[in-house]
Structure 1
Amino acid sequence: MERTVGGVGPVLERFAGVSRIALLRGGGLGDLMFALPAVSALKAAYPGSAVTLLGTPAHEALLAATHTPLDDVMVLPAAEGVRPGPEDPAALATFFGAARARQFDLAVQLHGGGRFSNPFLLQVRARHTVGSATPDAEPLERTLPYTYYQHEPTRALEVAGLAGAPPVLLEARLNPRAEFVAGLPALLGAALPRTDRPLLVLHPGATDLRRHWPAESFGAVAKAAAYDGATVVVIGDHTETELAAAVVSAAVGRSTGGRSTGGRSTGGPSTGGRSAGGSRVSSVAGRLGLGELAALLARADAVLANDSGPRHLAQALGAPTVGIYWAGNALTSGPLGRGRHRVHLSWVTHCPVCGADVTQVGWTAPRCPHNDSLVAGIRWEDVYVDVRSLLGL
């Protein structure tokens, strides 16, 4: 089999006659951001091809809200290891029937190690299949060994190389749709800054609670940024409204002149009698659809967030970011560059409650039941140095 240079891994010979490509990637917004560089590679290697994402409702909504290299989305039914929820045999049969009717030439598996996703993908019955596989996974036509600690966008590019597609982009690139950009001022009103003030967007949430930096720490950064002249907007979905409110409360209601202890802020910068909170720090959590969220992130001068979908989305939209990361997650999903993106790492290796080794993760590793933060020890003062630099304050 022909191998060429120029890829993350070996770039194999292209398949003949490929014009319809299916790409399997479930999960959240961040998971899709990891897959998009591979989509760009496949589109370049197979000019004129259409790439259909086998994804989630959130992915379908994002496709409607932004300009992406994808052509369309087929929403996955609930299936073990592919999309959570009770399986419905009729829904699965309908999905696979519709997928087979499209007669895909190539199906690409970017959804984990393949124990569940490879058998799922094979039921699409594409002419060719590529993807990653753990030792117990059903092999595809061309397979990459799955190792947990690998940068996810890089893994996706390596899988694309199996189909003969070298990289054209190393990270996802998106643009918000014009109608959402135009509607943002009317929707948010006073939450948006004047043109002479930089905009800092904070996202204090994450699906995994262990990735949560304390609301008090986000609040301390928000207070400092507001005092230095920025407008601060806290985002989140409808499940994160209380968390966002806690950040605003920490920013507006905290006493002044405090210091940080053990990584947790006990006060903000001295204000000299001036208010650092008020209307300069506000929450829009639960108020934005994906279109409005994308428009807001694209407008931000800096985004501070945990390792979460909105942070990855902000990066794809071109916003400078400061990310709060547990070190292991930075290996798999951190930004590559540091000119526009900064990363603050927690090097915690054991659960703070039971002492379990949290570095043993992946498809075979047991997980302790505790959700205590692994990143709480990151100092807000250190984070604000990078936030302030990106804001130009």
Structure 2
Amino acid sequence: MDKITRTLGRSPETIAVFRALKLGDLLVAVPAFRALRRAYPTAHIALIGLPWAADFVDRFSVYFDEFIPFPGWPGLPEQTVDPAETTRFLTRMQERPFDLAVQLQGNGTCVNPMMALLGARLTAGYYPESLPQYCLDTALYMPYLEGQHEIRRHVQLMEFLGLPSQGYELEFPLTDTDCLRAENIPEVQTLEPNRYVCIHAGGISARRWPEYRFAEVADALAAGGYQIVLTGTASETAIVEKVKTAMKFPAISLAGKTDLGVIGCVLSQAALLVSNDTGVSHIAAALKTPSVILYSTSRPEEWAPLNHQLHRAVLESQATNSQRVISEAWTVLGH
């Protein structure tokens, strides 16, 4: 019997998962979400997340039944705190006490006090081992180990709670509607499956691999016969244009023309992704699209895809010129 069922005296009927972060952060937690759902197949499971994550819950409806927007909390940098809305959020949570609230946000120094205010019958998650006062329940909170891989970390929490692992594989479900929207984009219609490479030079990090280096990689792959597709959000259009302008070969720009589903369909038929460490790199890992990922501020030991044959991690310090990335790209492509 798992710890939750034993402590509660029954299987939980309602569960809230707190992870109010970005796309990549949620994708690497999917194996933990899968383990939670398999352990409690009839439970009503809600994700408490940033406003954008409503789309994530829709895509992962096999694991989640509800999305609860998170209004922010002092000390969390992802959004500005509205004290009145945060108070209303806590009141709403307390008015419908969940059987279980699971903290997957981080080490707990900032958010565990909030977890105690959610009104759940049980809470579980992480605490910093050096600060035991942040441990809300010694049976249900495990030490947060710095430097651990994010995928393994969250699966291990599930195992700590007595829920069997369902593997470390990522997922990114695609729908017929996603692919239909992709097919309706004129630029996508010109792409030959497995004969194009996606280049994603944007990302949320303040420091990224330079655009001209991405252009050098793109030109080398284009010279080898691959179409080049430059991807990015609307806010990354200027970055994409810098890459395109620096290139010698022609390239297709999809900047601002894709949503998550469309970029998933484009990546699913790509021969390769070359990207900074950002959300699309985890989509590629989920879709088993080969990739070469540049790490400027994050650590590959914590964030890189686990399949090192299909996905290559390159530190910015190892890529002072483009040759290392080009070499890794050709290796992954089988040349």
**What TM-score, normalized by structure 1, do the two folds share?**
0.76
Deviations 1:56-99, CA, capped at 9 Å, x for gaps: 12221233356663333211002223463432233113322333
Aligned: 1:388 with 2:334? no
Deviations 1:161-208, CA, capped at 9 Å, x for gaps: 232212102132121221011121212x13454436612111112222
Q: CA RMSD in A?
A: 2.4
CA distance in structure 1 between the aligned counterparts of 2:194 and 2:163, rounded to whole angstroms: 43
2:232 partner letter: G
In the alignment, what sits opposite 2:33?
39
Alpha-carbon deviation of 1:118? 0.9
In the alignment, what sits opposite 2:198?
201
CA distance in structure 2 between the aligned counterparts of 1:126 and 1:116, rounded to whole angstroms: 18
CA distance in structure 2 between the aligned counterparts of 1:68 and 1:203, rounded to whole angstroms: 29
CA distance in structure 1 between the aligned counterparts of 2:77 and 2:69, rounded to whole angstroms: 10
2:330 partner letter: R
User: 1:35·1:156 contact (CA, 8 Å) conserved in 2?
Assistant: yes
Aligned: 1:96 with 2:66? no
CA distance in structure 1 between the aligned counterparts of 2:95 and 2:157, rounded to whole angstroms: 25
In the alignment, what sits opposite 2:313?
343
Aligned: 1:20 with 2:14? yes
In the alignment, what sits opposite 2:115?
121
In the alignment, what sits opposite 1:334?
304
Aligned: 1:322 with 2:292? yes
Structure with a larger share of its residues in helix = 2
Deviations 1:149-170, CA, capped at 9 Å, x for gaps: 1111111112222322121021
Unaligned runs of 5+ in 1: 3-10, 253-276, 349-374
CA, structure 1 residues 127+67, in 2 after alignment: closer, same or farther (shift >3 Å)? closer
In the alignment, what sits opposite 1:216?
212
CA distance in structure 2 between the aligned counterparts of 1:388 and 1:217, rounded to whole angstroms: 16
CA distance in structure 1 between the aligned counterparts of 2:66 and 2:142, rounded to whole angstroms: 26
In the alignment, what sits opposite 1:160?
158
In the alignment, what sits opposite 1:81?
75
Q: 44, 69, 72: which one pairs with 2:66?
A: 72
Sequence identity of aligned pairs in percent?
29
In the alignment, what sits opposite 1:243?
239
CA distance in structure 1 between the aligned counterparts of 2:57 and 2:4, rounded to whole angstroms: 30
Alpha-carbon deviation of 1:345? 2.8
CA, structure 1 residues 293+64, in 2 after alignment: closer, same or farther (shift >3 Å)? farther
CA distance in structure 2 between the aligned counterparts of 1:89 and 1:29, rounded to whole angstroms: 25
User: 1:204·1:215 contact (CA, 8 Å) conserved in 2?
Assistant: yes
CA, structure 1 residues 196+152, in 2 after alignment: closer, same or farther (shift >3 Å)? closer
CA distance in structure 1 between the aligned counterparts of 2:66 and 2:146, rounded to whole angstroms: 29
Alpha-carbon deviation of 1:238? 2.2
Aligned: 1:282 with 2:235? no
Please give the residue correspondences for 1:247-326 in structure 2 after superposition, counting only pairs within 5 Å.
Answer: 247-252=243-248, 277-278=249-250, 281-326=251-296
CA distance in structure 2 between the aligned counterparts of 1:249 and 1:153, rounded to whole angstroms: 37
CA distance in structure 1 between the aligned counterparts of 2:60 and 2:87, rounded to whole angstroms: 31
Q: Secondary structure at the match of 1:74?
A: strand
CA distance in structure 2 between the aligned counterparts of 1:169 and 1:200, rounded to whole angstroms: 29
User: 2:71·2:86 contact (CA, 8 Å) conserved in 1?
Assistant: yes
2:288 partner letter: G
Aligned: 1:174 with 2:172? yes
Alpha-carbon deviation of 1:111? 0.6
1:56 partner letter: L
CA, structure 1 residues 175+196, in 2 after alignment: closer, same or farther (shift >3 Å)? closer
CA distance in structure 1 between the aligned counterparts of 2:269 and 2:62, rounded to whole angstroms: 18
Q: 62, 82, 105: which one pairs with 2:99?
A: 105
Deviations 1:283-315, CA, capped at 9 Å, x for gaps: 211222222222222232211111111111221
**What TM-score, normalized by structure 2, do the two folds share?**
0.89
In the alignment, what sits opposite 1:360?
none
Alpha-carbon deviation of 1:32? 0.5
User: 1:219·1:248 contact (CA, 8 Å) conserved in 2?
Assistant: yes
Q: Secondary structure at the match of 1:209?
A: coil
Alpha-carbon deviation of 1:24? 0.8
CA, structure 1 residues 320+12, in 2 after alignment: closer, same or farther (shift >3 Å)? farther
Unaligned runs of 5+ in 2: none
